[in-house]
Chains A and B, each alone.
Chain A
């Protein structure tokens, strides 16, 4: 019984998320109950579904670019050729994670301008950090003996990377990508400030117009999105590793 509830709970939550986003009458009713006495409950200028799409686009583009670049950079600094950059990259990526995202965005705008592109750039810079960090620590934590053994059976450097090192570090790297994406979903709401669209739009509008229903709509949708993403990646990850754990 408990197990069934635990298994169904995320599915139920995700289903209610879908209804909330795509069914305006139901959303209106819910918000009316929660925040009585407002002029408007439904953000009219753009549909919530449209904002979700924009948000997904922001996260997907910046997140996948960050994942690719982060893993590549992490691999680079653990190769003999990039070994010299290892400490500096690791230090910068650790320190950089403490920068508030708003600050990163504020710095990106004068450099790149308003709109979609600077948001992607800011999100990219911000979400590449956990990927780099985890890629480096994943690759560094591999037993030197295993690499030696791979060399001993006649693997080339490339084969050692793709057949031994990356598969062994995959779990840690995947965890980094997961963290990066979840942070990205939350941070992407700030993109609205510089006109990138996304769920932040309705939050900003709610703040300006003093409409808590709007703020709640954007916040809860982004939260659902982050939760759903984390859940799905987690499931995929677990399926991938169940076989060989132990």
Chain B
């Protein structure tokens, strides 16, 4: 879809990009990341010809971007910029409709599309259409920036630190919203950030840059497991094993769990201790099959019974959702001092469990490879 071929960008004597080549596949989210001045934003701007390469070429669907008229090219590529991206003298509807307007769509079609997009990003068109950028919160402005980029339904989205100016809490919300949106729209996205957690959360591929060169590229989990050199090792941080767990979803790594109804707990707890704590945890459910407590195996070999006494649990505190990351699951497991965390549905039903041993194994496997 997008290919960099031996691209060099020089400013006078300074080299911003020093001969990079890489390919971004269709419907892929590629995150360019690195310290400031590493050339990530410059690379992004070469794609829609905001900048021209000194040598080499950027190809879009096999054709060099230099062969397109720059304005036409940009109208066909969604572009999201940090905060200032909205035009302050135009209201929300005019901002979102700017590319369709430049493409000379009819007014009625433009207005319909604008409302559609505001709905898509979860802002009430009636309420927001007439507002000016100065009247919006940071999060709203960023959502509208995304809506504007999507207006003419371009196949490619370029996003330059789109959530950088938003507070951490809202940033996370915006990232999740974007991930959901992307699953639906399947655009080819080039995303620039310096926030590693953001990259891990959103990326299919990560390209780590330093001083105008690519130091490593690949899937986030692989990079975290095997940093190419000291720079990457430092960049991903000492907690890279934990960060790596954020790349995996609970639903892909859960095991079937054993559940018993509340009224059977007394009998099961008294069962003789055969092999000392080797049993799985028993999750206890009420009449509605919702998690209410558990029986934990007694690790003591000399104990007469298999399980410790019944413990009441709050599903919200110990359970994880199927869409949560393994990092969250691990945190739950450690927080409760257990060996597994129950995976629960929205209604509180036990769907399965994530075991500490499985997480350890996954970690071992990643490092060994």
Contacts and interface: CB of A to CB of B under 8 A. Distances in A.
Does B associate with A?
Answer: yes
A155 B89 contact: no
A155 B71 contact: yes
Interface string A124-141: 000000000000000000
A210 interface: no
A149 B71 contact: no
A29 interface: no
- Most chain A CB within 10 A, of B48, B98, B99, is at B98
A188 to B, nearest CB: 34
A151 interface: yes
A148 interface: yes
Interface stretch (B80-88, B219-227, B347-355): B80-88
Contact of B75 (A146, A148, A153, A244): A153
A150 interface: yes
Given A156-B71, A246-B134, A151 B84 contact: no
Contact of B87 (A150, A154, A156, A246): A150
A167 interface: yes
A154 B84 contact: no
B81 A154 contact: no
Interface in B43-83: 48, 50, 71-76, 79, 81
B132 interface: yes
Contacts of A150: 87
6 contacts: A150-B87, A153-B99, A154-B99, A244-B132, A246-B132, A246-B135
A150 B135 CA distance: 20
A47 interface: no
B180 interface: no
B102 A149 contact: no
B44 to A, nearest CB: 11
Interface of A: 143, 145-146, 148-156, 159, 164, 167-168, 244, 246
Contact of A164 (B74, B87, B135): B87
A241 B87 CA distance: 15
A244 B91 contact: yes
Interface in B73-129: 73-76, 79, 81, 84-89, 91, 98-99, 102
Main secondary structure of the interface of A (DSSP, over half): helix
Contacts of A143: 84
B75 A145 contact: no
A164 B133 CA distance: 14
A41 to B, nearest CB: 53
B319 to A, nearest CB: 44
A153 B79 contact: yes
Contacts of B73: 154
B148 interface: yes
A149 B74 contact: no
A155 B50 CA distance: 12
Contacts of B48: 152
Q: How large is the interface on B (under 10, 10 to 19, 20 to 34, 35 or more residues)?
A: 20 to 34
A64 B148 CA distance: 38
Interface in B122-151: 132, 134-135, 148
Contact of B89 (A145, A152, A167, A246): A167
Contacts of B79: 152-153
B72 A154 contact: yes
Nearest to A171: B89
Interface in B231-253: none
Nearest to B160: A152
A164 B87 CA distance: 8
Given A146-B88, A152-B81, 12 more contacts: A146-B87, A152-B48, A152-B50, A152-B79, A153-B148, A154-B73, A154-B76, A155-B71, A164-B87, A167-B89, A244-B89, A246-B134
Contacts of B72: 154
Given A155-B71, A246-B132, A149 B85 contact: yes
Contacts of A156: 71
Nearest to A241: B89
Instruction: Give me the 6 closest cross-chain CB pairs, A-B, nearest first.
Output: A154-B75, A145-B84, A154-B74, A152-B79, A149-B85, A154-B71
B84 A149 contact: yes
A126 B109 CA distance: 49
A148 B45 CA distance: 11
B191 to A, nearest CB: 15
Contacts of B84: 143, 145-146, 148-149
A141 to B, nearest CB: 12
Contacts of B86: 149
A154 B69 CA distance: 10
A154 B151 CA distance: 13
B131 to A, nearest CB: 10
A55 B122 CA distance: 58
Given A145-B81, A246-B132, A151 B91 contact: no
- Most chain A CB within 10 A, of B74, B89, B91, B135, is at B89
Contacts of A244: 89, 91, 132
A246 B86 CA distance: 15
B335 to A, nearest CB: 43
